[in-house]
């Protein structure tokens, strides 16, 4: 069982405080080049659709990492860990 705290952390809304919005934008901007490359170089097919879907998932997980772990907001690791 993962517990209520972890469920709320994973499923909750994480607004973009501080520098997080800039990190989200940077992640989106950097994801465009590989998407354009694949779109231009690959023929239309199910595999191309899957590749594009996976790129969107990479972006989603990268931004989830920023949001869930307070990247760009709190430079001190939790519990003083390094």
* pLDDT tens digit at each of 82 positions of the chain: 767 887 787 777 767 777 888 898 899 899 999 999 999 999 999 999 999 999 999 999 999 888 888 777 655 555 655 5
Evaluate if pTM is beyond 0.85: no
Fill in the DSSP letter of residue 12. S
Dist CA 19 CA 23 (whole Å): 6
Dist CA 32 CA 45 (whole Å): 20
Residue 55 C-alpha from the chain's centroid: 10
**pLDDT score, position 5:** 82
**pLDDT score, position 33:** 93
């Amino acid at each position: 069982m993962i517990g209520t705290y972890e469920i709320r952390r994973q499923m909750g809304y994480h607004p973009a405080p501080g520098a997080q919005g800039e990190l989200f934008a940077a992640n989106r901007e950097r994801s465009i080049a590989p998407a354009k490359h694949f779109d231009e170089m690959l023929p239309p097919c199910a595999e191309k659709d899957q590749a594009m879907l996976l790129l969107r998932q990479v972006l989603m997980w990268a931004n989830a990492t920023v949001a869930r772990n307070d990247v760009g907001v709190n430079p001190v690791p939790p519990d003083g860990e390094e």
